[in-house]
Amino acid sequence: MQDERDRRIAKLEEEVADLKAVVKALLAENARLREENAQLRAEVEDLRAQLKQNSSNSSKPPSTDSPSDREARRGKSPSGRKRGGQPGHKGSQRQLLEPTKPPVDCFPENCRRCGKDLPHRPDPDPLRHQTVDLPPIAPVVSEWRLHRVGCDCGTITCGTLPPGVPSGMCEPGLMALIGLLTGDYNMSRRRAVSLLGDVLGIEISLGALSEAENKVSDALAAPVDEVRDHVANQTIKHSDATGWRQGGEARTLWTIATAFATVFFITKDGTMAGLRGLFAKVKGILVSDRGKQFGFWAMAKRQICWAHLIRRFAGFAERAGPTGQLGQNLLLCAPERHPLLALRPRRDDVAPGLPESHGGPWPHDRTPPANRRRSAHPWRQRFVCGHPRTPEGDVDVCPPVWRRAY
């Protein structure tokens, strides 16, 4: 009897051990499936967010918007005001020019009421009407004749052009016009050739026009270097880029802008290595997007462009759950909602004696709790709270406690 009980107990213990192993395996599989489900849900959320992306909530250009997005962008509610200049608008008018012909005086012959003849009496302040026309345009053609003269020794020597005379057909004025048309006015070379022939009567080939462009480019090398040095020494500069493909190869147009001057560069790619060579000095504050190409610039000396941030916040706001709420809160801190956000001082920055209205916090600003810590970046005075990071991991600030944005 005892042996039978022992065998039964041993069998039950084996069954319990097997069941524990099964439960352990099921728990492990359940944990794996939960993790996989969370990853899939995150991927689905990201894919849905990508489908909703347009020029208003991402860095995509407006040209990539769908017809419905474009219609929504144009479908702004009417303001109720009439078209044109509004009351109080400072008007503008055409500025009168200095006449190049003798002015013509126009006198009324008869009274517009009774028809009586009127004398030609000058008006001290007459109404002035001006018309403008173009004079006949004819190219100025200069000719140098190079004579070949034979010597008694039998050698023939040809004359040479005087110093300063270009070797091609284009003189400085024409080369400057070609550079203006194809460079600043973005006119194609073929259209520039057509304009020169139709308007100025100058027949020029595409090859000659391209040669003139190269000469203009060489002549501008020194001023461009001077502007580049000026931009490099400025304390605040802005940079952005746009890319395209030319002949199947990638090209990137970079711009570096300051308050006084802007420099453009074309590189073969948009990598950090290609961008780093464009900056003669890593100096001052750089305003840019969040691209990794700007990683060589210390983050303490960077300002992320508010336009990019606002579009990013809008993308967050269109999501569901905590991320959407975070995006809506971030949009409340955008400069378009608070135009004076960059100018309003913090409470502790107010000089003694100034009223609260000159430096008090925003209505949503409160004294930060003890669990909030001050940011380590002196250029971005803010408090970082314990809110969870977004799935992208690139925003970790609590919007209601932002104090200042530069």
The domain ranges of the chain are 169-219, 222-304, 306-401
Tokens of 382: 């803010």
Instruction: Say what the pLDDT of residue 216 is.
Output: 93
210 secondary structure, DSSP code: H
| pLDDT at residue number 385 | 36
For residue 119, the model assigns a pLDDT of 92
Only one residue has tokens 């474009």, namely: 70
* Separation CA 82–CA 74 (nearest Å): 18
Residue 148 is inside which H or E element, if any? strand 148-150
Tokens coding 214 = 């190269």
Please tell me the predicted confidence (pLDDT) of residue 76: 65
Each residue's pLDDT, cut to its tens digit, for the chain (406 residues) gives 667 888 888 888 888 898 999 999 999 999 999 999 999 998 998 888 888 888 877 777 777 888 877 777 666 677 778 887 788 888 788 889 999 999 999 999 999 999 999 999 999 999 999 999 998 889 999 999 999 999 999 899 999 999 989 888 999 999 999 999 998 898 999 999 999 999 999 999 999 999 999 999 999 889 988 998 898 889 999 998 888 888 888 888 889 999 889 988 888 877 888 788 788 778 889 998 888 888 889 888 888 888 888 888 888 888 888 888 888 888 887 765 544 444 333 434 333 433 333 333 333 333 444 444 433 333 233 333 333 333 333 333 333 333 333 2
* Cα→Cα distances 45→23, 40, 48, 51, Å: 32, 8, 5, 10
Among residues 313, 315, 308, which one has the least CA distance to residue 52? 315
* Per-residue pLDDT at 357: 36
241 touches 255 (CB < 8 A) = yes
Secondary structure class of 377 (helix, strand, coil)? coil
In eight-state DSSP terms, residue 347 is: G
Q: Which residues pair with 239 in a beta bridge?
A: 256
- CA–CA distance, 4 with 13 (Å, rounded to integer): 14
The CATH number of the domain covering residues in 222-304: 3.30.720
pLDDT for position 328: 86
Q: How far apart are the first and last CA of the chain?
A: 88
Please tell me the predicted confidence (pLDDT) of residue 1.
Answer: 64
Q: What backbone phi and psi angles, to 5 degrees, belong to 374?
A: -80, 140
H helices of 101-153, in order, are none
